[in-house]
């Protein structure tokens, strides 16, 4: 008598169910990998924007905190000009406005039209300008004028010999601009002024923050700039797409909506000008 052994295996339905489950699991794994990759790229973009923001805020703070400095007792100060007159000029005009310089009538702090970026200009005594140029002085300090502005999406600085701008000296160095940071969408500035002559308040605290287009009139009325408020909008160096792109409001400007669907970060800081504050406190009122 022949005995038949039963053969075991999977049915067609079981195989189809197994394949379907395998596809679902594989799709889930792929989706998790894609999500992790997107999250990693987003984190890198945020970190890059944060690092750029911290860098430029620190750089501008280091550059601007000495605005208005002039020390006639500094042994390294070049004395080829009347330093008493120069000291008064720098201390009364730490933030030059258009028309302050006879040999640079267009130079000064400028308010950009609408949401256009502003131009910041500061004066101080130093041994080099914001680019590191010494303008022909060797181991000496002189009147430095630094200009900060946005060229396209590059935040740049340009340094001048203030004595050249005042028409007291011939040009020695060129005024080529130096790039501080790329991927800057907007650069906005406000100026904190004190009115200790009018208010009889000798604390030199800023009573209000104003734009560059009203700075000239306030200075003519006896106000002094004792603080600078800066706001920047930076674009992350990444291909991450953010939709919809949020609006950003920098200082008192109208909200800005960037044209690209990228990641953007806003940074603001207020810098107290200690030299200008000390000068404001010392004025007779």
Q: What percent of the chain has pLDDT over 70?
A: 88
- pLDDT of 35 reads 58
Cβ within 8 Å of residue 185, ≥6 positions away:
153, 233, 234, 235, 256, 258, 264
Identify which of 278, 265, 250 has the alpha carbon closest to the alpha carbon of residue 183: 265
Alpha-carbon span 155 to 232, nearest angstrom: 10
Alpha-carbon span 225 to 220, nearest angstrom: 12
pLDDT tens digits for 13-22?
767 777 777 7
pLDDT range class, residue 199, cuts 50, 70, 90? low
Which of the given ranges, 1-15, 28-42, 52-66, has the highest pLDDT on average? 52-66
Which of the given ranges, 81-90, 230-239, 245-254, has the highest pLDDT on average? 81-90
Q: Where are the domains of the chain?
A: 44-282
Return contacts of 138-144, CB within 8 angstroms, 24+ apart.
Answer: 139/76, 140/76, 140/77, 140/78, 141/74, 141/76, 141/77, 141/78, 142/77, 142/78, 143/70, 143/86, 143/89, 143/90
């Amino acid at each position: 008598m022949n005995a038949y052994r039963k053969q075991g295996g999977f049915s067609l339905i079981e195989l189809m169910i197994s394949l379907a489950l395998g596809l679902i699991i594989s799709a889930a794994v792929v989706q998790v990998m894609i999500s992790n990759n997107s999250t990693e790229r987003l984190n890198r973009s945020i970190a890059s924007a944060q690092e750029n923001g911290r860098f430029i805020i620190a750089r501008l703070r280091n550059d601007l905190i000495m605005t208005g400095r002039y020390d006639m007792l500094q042994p390294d100060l070049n004395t080829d000009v009347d330093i008493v007159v120069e000291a008064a000029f720098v201390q009364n005009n730490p933030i030059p406005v258009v028309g302050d310089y006879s040999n640079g009538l267009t130079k000064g702090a400028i308010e950009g039209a609408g949401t256009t970026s502003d131009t910041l200009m500061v004066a101080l005594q130093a041994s080099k300008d914001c680019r590191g140029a010494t303008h022909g002085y060797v181991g000496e300090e002189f009147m430095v004028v630094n200009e900060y502005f946005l060229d396209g999406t590059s935040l740049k600085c340009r340094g001048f010999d203030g004595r050249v701008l005042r028409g007291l000296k011939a040009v020695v160095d060129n005024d080529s601009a130096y790039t501080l940071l790329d991927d800057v969408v907007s650069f906005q500035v406000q100026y904190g002024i004190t009115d200790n002559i009018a208010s009889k308040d000798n604390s030199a605290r800023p009573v209000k923050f104003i734009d560059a287009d009203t700075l000239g009139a306030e200075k003519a009325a006896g106000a002094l700039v004792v603080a600078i408020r800066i706001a920047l909008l930076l674009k992350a160096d990444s291909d991450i797409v953010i939709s919809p792109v949020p609006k950003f409001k920098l200082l008192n400007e109208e909200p800005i909506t960037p044209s690209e669907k990228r990641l953007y970060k806003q940074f603001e800081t207020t810098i107290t000008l200690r030299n200008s504050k000390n000068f404001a406190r010392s004025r007779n009122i």
